[in-house]
């Protein structure tokens, strides 16, 4: 196997505590005496991992876990307090709004400087400049000083440079969330194509959906240490379960949808009316969930479905995009999805089957519908689902 593009070995980052009067003096005195500050806050502690060419790694964790600090160590913005970080190959980083742009220079001048830093000569830049301008799509503002730009325009320009350069390694955090919806869609499509072409991605995000969509591996940071590192689905599921254990919604309320954009749930076949009693099913019964969605411009939306227990505990969820299933076009901007659960393993109790409609890139949630279902049956088993099992006799092999 070739050498990794990123190798972190025992990476640590500590800062002196400077919250009280005299802390700076004490920290300076410790530095003069050649010893570490006596009072320190540990941001990262013993972080080790590798990223090889063609891999996609997500860094997840709660606020303050050390994610952004880790990205800054990888890109050389910060130096580690202990351990080492090595990188190779060209790197494109979008980790801080406006980083690398001079506010007094125009967008075009900043593009020239950024291109030079990425190793593009004048001839190559001249060839790619129309592509950069088209991707950024900021019009005449390209010749205005960057200090006149909105936050979204700065992100547009920065990502346009990265898209034209196509670095061996792309590093980005939540900075793309400040862009408008159309630009987020453009960036998502570009990252999909970049990864399909063999690109390497290091991503920080709080969106588990996009983490699982874009990345194959995940690293969960908790209080500066690696809590879990491995397959993206395994890590995300443990991370979400940890969040569920910390704070449960006592009302079990669904995420508030955005009521705009022309995305609607037209019908859910088999669901009882909104004010009718719940649908009753026997334990182990099958269920057909047929949904008709509306979407503007005839572009198929994304359907997400999730089972939730009456107390709000998530049970199971899936999406049409992850399953690579496109809705059946019915005409008039309508799409039908048919989902069949062959034999529900749910234990008796009250549940809700929630249906969500998102845009084609799954960036926005627009509408939610709930289907109340009661599973009936006589059992002394406990929990939410029934796992297939059998009791073994003393001499019986498994």
Closest CA to 317 of 276, 281, 358, 280: 358
Please state the rounded mean pLDDT for residues 95-108.
Answer: 80
Find all residues with CB under 8 Å of 203, minimum gap 6, and list them. 56, 57, 58, 59, 171, 172, 173, 211, 214, 215
Is the pLDDT score of 330 beyond 80? yes
Distance CA 348, CA 385 (A): 9
Contact 37, 27 (CB under 8 A): yes
Is pLDDT of 172 > 60? yes
Q: Is the pLDDT of residue 36 over 70?
A: no
Query: Does residue 21 have a pLDDT over 90?
Result: no
Please provide the CATH number assigned to the domain covering 264-376: 2.70.50.60
In DSSP notation, 9-57 reads EEEEEEEE--SSTTHHHHHHHHHHTTS--SSEEEEEEEEEEEE-TT-EE
Q: Tell me the average pLDDT of the chain.
A: 83
- Are 14 and 55 contacting, i.e. CB atoms less than 8 angstroms apart? no
Positions of CATH 3.40.50.300 in the chain: 6-246
Residue 322 Ramachandran class (φ > 0 left, ψ -120 to 50 alpha, else beta): alpha
Q: Quick one: which H or E segment has residue 181?
A: helix 181-196
User: CATH 2.70.50.60 occupies which residues in the chain?
Assistant: 264-376
The CA–CA distances, whole Å, from 291 to 300, 354, 384 equal 13, 11, 25
Look up residue 128 and give its DSSP letter.
H
Q: Is the pLDDT of residue 320 over 50?
A: yes
Pick from 36-40, 167-171, 349-353, 382-386: least confident: 36-40
pLDDT score for 6: 94
Predicted confidence at residue 249, as pLDDT, reads: 44
Query: What is the per-residue burial (b if ≥16 Cβ within 10 Å, else e) of 243-258?
Result: eeeeeeeeeeebeebe
Please identify, in words, the CATH class of the domain defined by 6-246.
alpha beta
Rounded Cα gap, residues 32 and 35, in angstroms: 8
Decide if pLDDT at 96 tops 70.
no
- Asked which of 51-55, 181-185, 273-277 is least confident by mean pLDDT, the reply is 273-277
326 vs 145: CA distance, rounded Å: 44
Residue 313, pLDDT > 60, answer yes
Distances in whole angstroms, Cα of residue 145 to Cα of each of 109, 154, 183, 247, 343: 9, 11, 21, 46, 62
Q: Which residue has the higher pLDDT, 134 or 233?
A: 134
For the chain, the 3-state helix, strand and coil shares in percent, each to the nearest 5, are: 30, 35, 40
Residue 254 confidence class, pLDDT cut points 50, 70, 90:
very low
Confirm if 136 and 150 have CB atoms less than 8 A apart: no
SS3 (DSSP) at 308: strand
In whole angstroms, give the CA distance from residue 358 to residue 253. 18
């Amino acid at each position: 196997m070739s050498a990794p593009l990123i190798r972190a070995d025992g990476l640590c980052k500590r800062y002196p505590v400077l919250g009280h009067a005299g802390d700076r003096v004490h920290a300076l005195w410790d530095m003069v005496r050649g010893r570490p500050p006596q009072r320190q806050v540990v941001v990262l502690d013993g972080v080790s991992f590798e990223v090889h060419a063609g891999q996609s790694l997500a860094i997840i964790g709660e606020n303050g876990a050390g994610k952004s600090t880790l990205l800054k160590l990888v890109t050389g913005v910060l130096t580690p307090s202990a351990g080492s970080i090595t990188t190779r190959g060209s790197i494109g980083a979008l980790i801080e709004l406006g980083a690398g742009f001079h506010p007094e220079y125009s967008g075009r001048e900043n593009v020239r400087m950024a291109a030079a830093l990425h190793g593009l000569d004048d001839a190559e830049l001249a060839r790619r400049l129309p592509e950069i301008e088209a991707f950024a799509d900021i019009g005449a503002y390209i010749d205005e000083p960057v200090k006149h730009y909105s936050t979204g325009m700065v992100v547009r320009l920065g990502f346009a440079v990265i898209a034209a350069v196509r670095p061996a390694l792309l590093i980005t955090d939540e900075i793309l969330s400040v862009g408008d919806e159309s630009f987020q869609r453009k960036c998502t499509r570009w990252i999909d194509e970049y990864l399909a072409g063999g690109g390497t991605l290091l991503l920080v995000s709080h969106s588990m959906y996009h983490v699982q969509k874009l990345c194959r591996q995940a690293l969960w940071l908790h209080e500066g240490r690696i809590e879990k590192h491995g397959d993206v689905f395994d890590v995300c599921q443990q991370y979400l379960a940890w969040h569920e254990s910390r704070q449960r919604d006592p009302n079990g309320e669904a995420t508030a949808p955005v009521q705009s954009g022309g995305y609607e749930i037209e019908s859910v076949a088999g669901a009882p009316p909104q004010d009718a009693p719940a649908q009753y099913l026997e334990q182990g019964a099958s269920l057909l969930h047929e949904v008709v969605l509306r979407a503007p411009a005839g572009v198929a939306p994304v359907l997400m479905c999730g089972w939730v227990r009456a107390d709000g505990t998530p049970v199971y969820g899936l999406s049409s995009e992850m399953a690579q299933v496109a809705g059946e076009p019915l005409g008039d901007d309508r799409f039908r999805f048919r989902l069949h659960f062959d034999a529900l393993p749910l234990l008796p109790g009250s549940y809700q089957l929630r249906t969500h409609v998102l845009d084609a890139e799954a960036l926005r949630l627009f509408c939610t519908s709930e289907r109340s279902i009661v599973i009936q049956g006589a059992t002394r088993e406990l929990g939410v689902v029934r796992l297939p099992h059998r009791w073994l006799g003393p001499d019986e092999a498994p």
